[in-house]
Structure 1
Amino acid sequence: MSLQTYFKEFNKVIKMDYDVKSELKEKRDILLGILRNDDDMPAFDEYNQGSYSMHLGVEPLDKEYDIDVGLRFHVNRDDYEPMDLKEKIRDLLKNHTEYGAKIKKPCVTVTYKKDGEAAYHVDLVTYVYEDKDDSDSQLYLARGKNRDSEETCWEKSDPVGLVEYVNDKYKGDDNKEDREQFRRVVRYIKRWKNKKFSSSGNAEPPSIAITLIAVDHFEASKKYDYIEEKYCYDDLQAVISFAKEIQKLFVFKEVNEIGRLMYTIEYNLPSSLNFESDVNLFRKMSDNYMTDFKEKIDDLVDDLEAVKSETDEVEQCKMLSKIFGDDFPIPEKKNAAKKQMNFIPSTSASGVD
């Protein structure tokens, strides 16, 4: 089999299949029912957002599944403080599970237990309108953990536009195969970062930043297969090229007091959407964390280039397993071709290197 076959097997393992996560959807619907049945809760429309709606979900390493649900309340921003609705949601749901409902900066989280430990959680994100009578008016996100925080505010947001922006990448039946490679490569990078970075604090690069960089910079990659006598998708080259695009975004900042070269990275939400302007998606990461990210991306590119240079397919898969984790399949020698076929140089879908 070709290396591409093993990449696709890896994608199947790590891909979040929301259609089979019926428990998660059932919990979401129960929570929405509780909120709707409360006489004091304003009417709202729900909207699935995040990786769920972008078709980019990855199986979590800690096995705690989540779903982000936007609640667009039919109220005017000027009639409510940012914490009003979040506290109401929290109070209605606080006794629903053993873990209760917890207010976080962007949402209210309800966590569920299964087999004695946290198994999944639902993030409920609160939005209100500039003008409740105009569904096209500006949406505002209720940001903040409590009323006393300086960070608590109404923040301009465009959750529907953001999902459409991502899903418009390779839109249409004619672009289906390019779109599938795009989604596979984003999942590979997300699994890599889940493996390489701590999820506590702000050490881990935000997934939405990785996704938007891919939307703006990813190009499909193919190579010629002499057996099939046609161009076939080349996920190894695609993930190398995308990792190099991330590399290019880092900017040297300074040499710190111990002689370490420090770097920063900045990537804003699309200016075409209705978010607060000039919001760097990496803003929560310290200079040390950004530099860690730069060093790990550099290592990733080097490691992937080494895979590309290796001619033994089994050895390639072993190397990729070290990069992406044990879910990357390693074939037995007898089931794999020992040497890769000779291919012409990889190209993008447009034929440009």
Structure 2
Amino acid sequence: MSLQKYFRDFNKTIKMDYDVKSELASKRDILLKKLRDSNELPGFTELNQGSYIMYTGVEPLDKEYDIDVGLRFNVNKNDYESPMELKNKICDILKNHTEYGAKVKKPCVTVTYKKNGETAYHVDLVVYTYEDKDDMESQLYLARGKDSIPEEICWEKSDPKGLVDYINNKFETETKDREQYRRVIRYMKRWKNLKFSSSGNAEPPSIGITLIAADKFEVSKSYDYLEEEWKYDDLEALIGFAKAIQNLFKLQGVSENGRLLYRIKYPLPSSLNFESDTDIFKKMTDSYMTDFKDKVDRLVNDLEEVKEEADEVEQCKLLNKIFGDDFKIPEKKNASKKQVNCIPVSSSSGV
């Protein structure tokens, strides 16, 4: 049995559940109908965003699921003195929709749901307006900020559909190459959720991991002439991607206590219509970024150790330490002892 089988099982375990996605979609549709039925808002078209529509979602460790929905209002940005007008109206309309109500956050309005007595879902509604409402291809602006921090309220150039297309179109069709691309993103997202605190800005943003994958990920597969099919190697692809992230860190200086500080500066693609200052990791301090580097370095070393281990069960034990208990350890009798028995006749890598 190949180690790849255990990677695929791990992917099935951490991949966002389809039934949950359906339930989230139902919550979204109810909210959108309520907003459309209101006389207080102009018309809008929705746009699904985030991992939900990029097909890279993972089961959250805290079991609170979310979905991002863009609301492209058919109005001009200049029709509103403040970006808060539309956000506050949405919040007022939805304030009694659930027990938790609605809350204005810097990038969105969030509606939270309870299930079985516990917080279970939240829907993030992101507000956009146009430069020219009569031209659906004109610049979109995101309503950023909240009333309690007036200095941060602004209209921000944004290109949400362009970003989704950029990531999804790494591979233009539904191929097994694209499936590996998405699996490796999920592995990295589960790893970072386990290794970083979600409070503050200590955790690298998921969109950063995903965008680097769109630019740097390379498929790892080999052709088995006996079975006449391509065999995919997620371990090799994951090592390659982790090394690609590792190579992006640049020395920034030295801290007061003598620690070398590193960071990644990674702007959104210049081909997209975002603000010019779009470093995805800008909210992370140099210290947090250096922690990120240290953990990526350790990940690369740990994955290389997995690669060098010949016993399949021992490999899975090492991967369990990296990815947690969702990466299952097989019993000896269910696994072949030596990975060498699974090496295909001829191999090659590349997209």
TM-score range, shorter chain: over 0.9
| C-alpha distance in 2 between matches for 1:338 and 1:117 | 44
What amino acid is aligned across from residue 24 of structure 1 in structure 2? L
| C-alpha distance in 1 between matches for 2:93 and 2:157 | 26
2:152 equivalent in structure 1: 151
> What is the Cα deviation at residue 181 of structure 1?
0.5
| C-alpha distance in 1 between matches for 2:197 and 2:226 | 43
What amino acid is aligned across from residue 310 of structure 1 in structure 2? E
> What is the Cα deviation at residue 227 of structure 1?
6.5
- The answer as to 2:34 corresponding to 1:30 is no
Q: Deviations over 1:268-316 (max 9, x none)?
A: 1010011011310000001111011000000000000000000000010
What amino acid is aligned across from residue 240 of structure 2 in structure 1? S
2:248 equivalent in structure 1: 249
What amino acid is aligned across from residue 302 of structure 2 in structure 1? D
Residue 274 to residue 257, structure 1, CA distance change in 2 (3 Å): same
> What is the Cα deviation at residue 22 of structure 1?
2.7
| C-alpha distance in 1 between matches for 2:347 and 2:63 | 36
Structure 2 portions without partners, runs of 5+: none
What amino acid is aligned across from residue 217 of structure 2 in structure 1? F
- The answer as to 2:303 corresponding to 1:314 is no
> Contact 2:44–2:72 at 8 Å: present in 1 too?
yes
| C-alpha distance in 1 between matches for 2:311 and 2:335 | 9
What amino acid is aligned across from residue 33 of structure 1 in structure 2? K
| C-alpha distance in 1 between matches for 2:61 and 2:89 | 32
| C-alpha distance in 2 between matches for 1:259 and 1:172 | 49
Residue 102 to residue 257, structure 1, CA distance change in 2 (3 Å): same
Partner SS, residue 307 of structure 2? helix
| C-alpha distance in 1 between matches for 2:151 and 2:298 | 39
| C-alpha distance in 1 between matches for 2:277 and 2:127 | 22
| C-alpha distance in 2 between matches for 1:114 and 1:97 | 11
- The answer as to 2:118 corresponding to 1:117 is yes
> What is the Cα deviation at residue 23 of structure 1?
2.3
- The answer as to 2:173 corresponding to 1:172 is yes
> Contact 2:104–2:146 at 8 Å: present in 1 too?
yes
What amino acid is aligned across from residue 113 of structure 2 in structure 1? Y
2:267 equivalent in structure 1: 268
| C-alpha distance in 2 between matches for 1:214 and 1:324 | 19
Q: Deviations over 1:59-110 (max 9, x none)?
A: 1111100000000000110011110100001111111112111111110000
TM-score (norm 1): 0.95
- Range 335-344 or range 66-75, more displaced: 335-344
> What is the Cα deviation at residue 224 of structure 1?
5.5
> Contact 2:223–2:348 at 8 Å: present in 1 too?
no
1:89 equivalent in structure 2: 90
1:187 equivalent in structure 2: 186
Structure 1 portions without partners, runs of 5+: none
| C-alpha distance in 2 between matches for 1:301 and 1:346 | 22
> What is the Cα deviation at residue 221 of structure 1?
0.5
| C-alpha distance in 1 between matches for 2:153 and 2:311 | 55
> What is the Cα deviation at residue 33 of structure 1?
1.2
- Range 140-149 or range 54-63, more displaced: 140-149
| C-alpha distance in 1 between matches for 2:150 and 2:224 | 59
Residue 121 to residue 88, structure 1, CA distance change in 2 (3 Å): same
What amino acid is aligned across from residue 85 of structure 2 in structure 1? D
Q: Deviations over 1:36-80 (max 9, x none)?
A: 111111100111111111111111111100000000000110011
What amino acid is aligned across from residue 8 of structure 1 in structure 2? R
1:41 equivalent in structure 2: 41
- The answer as to 2:12 corresponding to 1:12 is yes
1:219 equivalent in structure 2: 218
2:71 equivalent in structure 1: 71
1:210 equivalent in structure 2: 209
| C-alpha distance in 1 between matches for 2:37 and 2:148 | 26
- The answer as to 2:59 corresponding to 1:55 is no
- The answer as to 2:103 corresponding to 1:102 is yes
- The answer as to 2:339 corresponding to 1:332 is no
- Range 93-102 or range 312-321, more displaced: 93-102
- Range 185-194 or range 17-26, more displaced: 17-26
Partner SS, residue 341 of structure 1? helix
Number of paired residues? Answer: 348
> Contact 1:10–1:328 at 8 Å: present in 2 too?
yes
> Contact 2:224–2:347 at 8 Å: present in 1 too?
no
> What is the Cα deviation at residue 228 of structure 1?
4.1
TM-score (norm 2): 0.95
> What is the Cα deviation at residue 117 of structure 1?
1.3
| C-alpha distance in 1 between matches for 2:44 and 2:337 | 58
> What is the Cα deviation at residue 19 of structure 1?
5.0
What amino acid is aligned across from residue 298 of structure 1 in structure 2? D
What amino acid is aligned across from residue 328 of structure 1 in structure 2? F
| C-alpha distance in 2 between matches for 1:298 and 1:346 | 27
- Range 336-345 or range 31-40, more displaced: 336-345
| C-alpha distance in 2 between matches for 1:201 and 1:149 | 20
Partner SS, residue 4 of structure 1? helix
Partner SS, residue 21 of structure 1? helix
